[in-house]
Amino acid sequence: MKTIESRKDIKLLVDTFYIKIRKEETLGPIFNKHIPETNWPEHLEKLTDFWETNLFGIPKFKGNPTLKHVNVDKGLHHKVDQVHFGLWLQLWFETIDELYTGDLAIKAKEASRRMAHGQFMAIWNQRPKTQQ
């Protein structure tokens, strides 16, 4: 098994992961509805920037993932729940384990766990009180 050593490694991880996401029966329709086919290459580059920033500390990512997640939840009538984030994490961990080992693989898992919790709580806190 290989370790994560470069942007090329992160790009392989992100691309492989989102191929799975787009096919997954619960998450796929959500992602495919909110990201048009023509926008996927740009989206994958942005996600590669995100993980390069998080894993290597290289300040490339620019964006507001929390706002995006809150807007997706609104578009789904406040139906995003912990199951969605659990599936996302399961596929992320599975993809990491298929491709990589080592400290940065562990860091990617730990960071994703914190992010999933943080994003869900941000969504929850932005919901109208009647939706909580």
What are 15-25's pLDDT values in tens digits? 999 999 999 99
Q: Enumerate domains of the chain plus CATH numbers.
A: 2-131 (1.10.490.10)
pTM over 0.75: yes
Q: Please say if the pLDDT value at position 82 is more than 90.
A: yes
Q: Please say if the pLDDT value at position 51 is more than 90.
A: yes
The per-residue pLDDT for 132 is 63
The per-residue pLDDT for 101 is 98
Q: Tens digits of per-residue pLDDT, 25-50?
A: 999 999 999 999 999 999 999 999 99
Q: Tens digits of per-residue pLDDT, 84-115?
A: 999 999 999 999 999 999 999 999 999 999 99
Q: Residue 130 — pLDDT band, cuts 50, 70, 90? A: confident
The per-residue pLDDT for 131 is 64
- As a whole number of angstroms, the distance between CA 109 and CA 91 comes to 11
